Structure 1
Amino acid sequence: MAYRGRFAPSPSGPLHAGSLVAALASWLDARAHGGAWLVRIEDVDRPRNVPGADEEILRQLAACGLVPDRPPTWQSQREALYQAALDRLVREGKAYPCACSRRDIALALFAQGRERTRHGELVYPGTCRAGLHGQEARAWRLRVPEGVVPWTDRRVGVHLQNVAEEVGDFVLKRADGLFAYQLAVVVDDADQGITHVVRGEDLVDNTPRQILLQRALGVPTPQYLHAPLVLGPNGEKLSKQNGAAAVEVAQPAAALAAAARVLGITVDPRVAVPELLAQAVRAWGARYP
């Protein structure tokens, strides 16, 4: 298949230094491999959306010379696809309704002597796998198979995760009626023919869940590359939630050169943006042929 990559920002604020690194990495990989680069606004989590942030992100990308090869798409316009995928999984017995609240899950884990959480997320103990027993459905979960999920990242190598033990049956549609990130991203990548996913290293842990969901839906698994993160003063991932400043696009070459350095690429910030990007594409292609 012809290479097709994507950048999928959430419109919870403008691009900051960390999200520009992810955008640049995905754009460079597409260009180095002669492929198409798409932009998808991941606005399915409506409570986190900031009005106007989507248009500001597109403006910042354009100012940095990162222009998608197709018109951008918005997840909020694609919810019928997510519901169709969920309906199919339910029909095939691969997904089921869940009546558990977070408190219910915590109490069940406590009763089993399993208080540990993974990345702040309770490991689901499978309470509703056998039915709701008269309770009302709150969410919908994927029935996760036993066993280790192996996969190879193009940058950081082989990964193994037993999703059943470390995550449990994960949510596809939330109690508030919104579709979960895992379902939306897998459906979108398959529908848009994405062959290569280049994104931040903070999403490594999501990949095994997405691979399982791809298998359940019978869609291809893209190749993955997780790029280095920009860290804040506290050593945590730089994010909109911890006050990351918007990328200053009045000086796009400087912003791009800083992002390239995080990726281990040296470019000349004194040249025009097109030449800077051409330098970066050559360097990226040599590193990730």
Structure 2
Amino acid sequence: MLKRYLLITFILIIIGIIIFIGYLEFTNKPFEEFSGTRAFEDVKYQVRLGPRTLDSEAHSRVVDWIVGELSTEGWQVETQEAEISGQAITNVIAKRGEGTPWIILGSHYDSRPTADRDPDPTNCDKPVPGANDGASSTAILLELARVIPRRIDGQIWLVFFDAEDTGKSTGTGWANGSEYFVSMLEGKPDQVIVLDMVGDKDLNIYMEGNSNRELNNEFWALANEIGYSQFIQIYKYDIIDDHIPFIKAGIPAIDVIDMDYPYWHTISDTVDKVSAQSLEIVGITVQKWLEQYSIIKNSTN
């Protein structure tokens, strides 16, 4: 009887050890580097859905897909819904970790309803495919969601903004989703990095003039240190984008955007204009910045 009891106890101990090891592997998966190839597949998927304009089927489907991808990777996911100017919008928020530092990485996922910069006037009322403008930055955030470890120091939020690209040439109506998000935000994050139009095959990312100077210098210096000459340490544009509501709220934020993109707001903003290499350059820079900021640790170091 005693031998049987000892055998059962031994088996239970072994089972407990196996479960504990499995838990550790689940919660702290080995460091994995960002894959531009995987991100590019996500760009292609979004574009296959069709233009992700407000109230469209493609818009609803891309929200469901983003939520599903984030949930699969173990993020705490919620949607934030609102009505702005008579239109329903949905921001998607994914959270991991707690405490400080608190970092927000953002991207808009909607695509522009009108190709008002298309050289052919007959195309100007058509929706933009949004391969670079919308899908590229969304794909980078989703790939970061896969490679950021489950156990981190501090907290990271990945925020997918709606209704960034519904604005008018007069400068009104832009960044509605991020504006609403910031208005509802409790507390102030330490740093915010917004990505937009970062998949161009001919990638040239200049500093944006409304962005936080200190964070700009830090991020571009890191990119150059890695060897990415595509990040050019010169201010060239002042842009209304999803970083502006954060700046207005006194939160350090930058806009990482390649405005030297001839297909911007045209029907030619298609998958063939995007490259996996460009996605990887930007994605790895963000990943390395998170390491440098000590919010994630590279277990291979």
Q: Same fold (TM over 0.5)?
A: no
Larger radius of gyration: 2
